[in-house]
Amino acid sequence: MDVALCTINNTVYDIAGFEALSPKCIGVMRRNLLCPRCMGPGFYRKAARSGQASCFGARPHAEFCDMGGPQSATNRGDTLDQDDVVNRGERIEVDFAFGAPLHHHAVEEGAGAAYGVGRQSGGQAAQRTQTRHRRLSTLLKNLILSEDFRRSEQLISVESGLFKVRDFFVPFAQAEVDELERMRGYWGLISDAAQSGDQPPSLWLNTGGRQDLSVVVDSSLVDDFTQRFPIHELEDLAGAYVLVFGCVRVSKNAKKYIAVHDISRITLNKTP
Ligand SMILES: [Zn+2]
């Protein structure tokens, strides 16, 4: 899209106007951009070394929005394949193994009593509840593209227990520091990324909005991370979505962060 709305000063910028701001200003404002028409979550990407011009984007635009221009068709190419659709009735087991073969099986409802799901009374035939292993990447796709999924009450099983999908997955904008350090699936758009100043550097995925929350990939995992999710430069991460299983902490200087110490707990969905 050619223009973006900055929510800090409620101003619509074109690229030239935005880039005329000071670098510090751009650094703050790029975390607070929306599509001016549909209010979809926006991002700014600097010009790439490969020669691609700087740009604004939003992911996703609303169905009715034409601000994505001719690219919107490919943006909506972010669609769910039949195999990715999480069915309402199924119980989700999270598959943390990257690229592992998938398998699924059906269990008699009631056989899952250990999960606290009771058999229906009234002499109805027992319904079959399908348990399916789902990869993080599939879960993230569903979170991005399906409001039905985000709000669903279907059950997801993780080490710490059984949760409703709508309780377990938390958008970054609603993430709060949890003193009890309970694990949740936090997800949302990356506005920009940076390396820390230490050696070896860790990778900071900044999530934008007023939350000032960052996902911090531990320095020991940065090579694994860039192997799994190849990028040419850090700017490629602007506009990507991330899902991370972890907990929100706050640093001594009041910075909220989610630390990643296990590469299997994070997935990335880059711009198409
Ligand atoms: Zn839009």
Confidence (pLDDT) at 127: 56
143's enclosing H/E stretch is helix 136-145
- Tens of pLDDT, residue by residue over 58-95, are 998 988 998 876 554 444 456 777 778 888 788 999 98
Q: What is the CA radius of gyration of the chain?
A: 20
Backbone angles phi, psi at 145, to 5 degrees: -100, -15
Distance from Cα 63 to the centre of ligand 1, integer Å: 8
Q: Which residues have C-beta under 5 Å from ligand 1, the single-atom ion?
A: 35, 37-38, 40, 61, 65, 67
**205-235 pLDDT tens trace:** 999 887 789 999 999 999 999 999 999 999 9
Distance 259 CA to ligand 1 centre (A): 31
Interval between CA 235 and ligand 1 midpoint (Å)? 21
Please state, for a pLDDT cut of 90, what percent of the chain lies above it. 62
Q: Is the pLDDT of residue 30 over 70?
A: yes
Distance 239 CA to ligand 1 centre (A): 14
All structural domains of the chain? 3-75 (no CATH), 85-166 (no CATH), 169-269 (2.40.50.140)
Tens digit of each residue's pLDDT (9 = 90 or more) over 11-22 = 999 999 999 999
Ligand 1 midpoint to CA 150 (Å): 20
Given a cut of 80, is residue 148 above it in pLDDT?
Answer: yes
Cis preceding linkage at 200, omega within 30: yes
* Residue range 157-177, pLDDT digits in tens: 998 899 999 999 999 999 999
